[in-house]
Amino acid sequence: MFSPKTLQICEPISVLSFMRTFLLLLVCLLPTFTTVLAQKKYTQAAENYFNSIRQEEALLTAFCQQMPKGGDLHHHYSGSVYTETYIEYVIERDFWLNTNTMDVHTENPMNDKTWVQFSALRKDGSLGLYKQKMLEKWSVKDYHPADSDLPQDKHFFTAFSYFRIANVLFNESNWETYKSRLQELKHRAKTENVSYIETAFTYIPCPPFTADLKSYNDSLRLNKNNKLVMSRLLDTLYQNFLRRGIKTCAEQHSKQVEKLHQEAQIDDDKFMMRYQNYAVRIIEPVDVFGQIVTSMWSAEASPLIVGVNFVAPEDNELAMQDYELHMLLFNYCKQKFPKVKTSLHAGELALGMVKPEDLTWHINEAVNTAGAVRIGHGADIAHEKNSYALLDKMKKEKIAVEINLSSNEFVLQLKNDKHPLALYRERGVPIVICTDDAGVLRTNLTEQFILLAKRYPKVTYKDMKQYIYNSILFSFIEENEKKQQLLQLLDSQFEEFEKQFAGK
């Protein structure tokens, strides 16, 4: 018990000991305090410099190139490998080129003179010219609407079908090709100070589903509003997939991805890559469901496969018709695979592409029905029904939006203040800046930050830094210590980067 006496006795001792502890603390904390102050000064200096150059592109380019950029969370493996790599692949194998269309085949399919082998083009000196023409068809290089048969969005998606011949199936025989392409992506990322990529990797080569299950397509469509029947139908299909051994196939795929990742030596102390599986939205519902379930099984089987995505053009007729059903399929899988995270492309649409009413519900459905924890693009948000409530929900539940400025500009023709970036920012939704398909779009993450800085003057340096940290915080990396490692790396990289502007 305290008494005035004990207090008297203790007082001089406690004051002395307090002073001693205080001095000790001061000595210990002073360097940290000084470092924090110095770092704050460096950050301010970097911000001042950024503000002074943000409208001068060459200066801004050097700034953004050297700035640490954290992760690229909206990234497709096939569209990020640069087109030159695919072209070199078909030339090395001496495939046949259709000199009119720039299609490539392993042999002369028609046995006519428009198909020529690459060795022959090299011999007659025209290979350089045709490589250029291929680049223009196989990517957006030098695209001009007046010279093209296709509108921009169709040109973009058609590019993928041109280089399909070089985007080989994921199996043992193509092991070295995959290794070198992953290393290409890693090397390019590190060159522009990107320390993490989460890529929608590859189609999972497990058996297709439809042949004897076709009748389920109609049943699923007809019963999408009948919860009980839907649940029974999906249970039956799920069990059917299990009986066919697709789970085992999916798990084997994950093991192969792990093996490739190790052998290609992708992770190091300054870089990590993780993978997403994906389903495509432009096929029949049973196939979509099969792909989602396969993707989920595979993701559950490996810490390197961190999530599931949903890809292909959202304005495709089948994709539009079945969108609601697709979200229900994801909803079902969310119950079956609660640990697997989903990032869904949703609202990759613009006025004029579809009927106005179809711009009002895709992001809502992806968030509220499918349970997506990140939204890819989210470009039509301003048109969504109750968009303020939806944005508030995204903020509250920390559902990040993956912004792809170059992609949205080319595919959707959304840029500057037409793009909803400002709306997401104003409502406090977590933002990450990404590339989507840097290879097809002939861009990189640096350019995305240049566009961000030039087009959106309200976005401050502090905001950009937040978006960069978000790219690690909202990543799907499963191992917490790896996430911490990447965050610490960002801290030290920013410290180095910002120090350069002291005294400027």
Residue closest to Zn ion when measured from CB atoms: 436
CB 348 to Zn ion: min, Å: 7
**217/435 with CB nearer Zn ion:** 435
Give the C-alpha separation, 492 to 497, whole Å.
Answer: 9
Return the beta strands (E) in 201-252 as ranges: none
CA 427 centroid distance within chain: 22
Give the C-alpha separation, 133 to 145, whole Å.
Answer: 16
CB 254 to Zn ion: min, Å: 22
**43/343 with CB nearer Zn ion:** 343
Among 425, 417, 406, residue whose Cα is nearest residue 72: 406
Please, are residues 68 and 195 in contact by the beta-carbon 8 Å criterion? yes
CB 175 to Zn ion: min, Å: 26
Interaction site with Zn ion (CB under 5 A) = 436
Please, are residues 403 and 436 in contact by the beta-carbon 8 Å criterion? no
**436/498 with CB nearer Zn ion:** 436
**72/436 with CB nearer Zn ion:** 436
CB 226 to Zn ion: min, Å: 32
CB 62 to Zn ion: min, Å: 28
Helix (H) / strand (E) element for 93: namely: none
Helix (H) / strand (E) element for 162: namely: helix 152-162
Quick one: angle between helices 285-300 and 215-222, nearest 10?
Answer: 90
Report the largest interatomic distance among the alpha carbons of the chain, rounded to a whole angstrom.
Answer: 110
Give the C-alpha separation, 270 to 446, whole Å.
Answer: 18
Quick one: angle between helices 480-499 and 461-473, nearest 10?
Answer: 160
CB 480 to Zn ion: min, Å: 27
Please, are residues 372 and 404 in contact by the beta-carbon 8 Å criterion? no
Among 94, 151, 152, residue whose Cα is nearest residue 123: 94
**70/378 with CB nearer Zn ion:** 378
Among 372, 87, 209, residue whose Cα is nearest residue 362: 372
CB 80 to Zn ion: min, Å: 10
**189/490 with CB nearer Zn ion:** 189
CB 52 to Zn ion: min, Å: 34
**136/436 with CB nearer Zn ion:** 436
Tokens linked to 263: 């052998």
**440/489 with CB nearer Zn ion:** 440
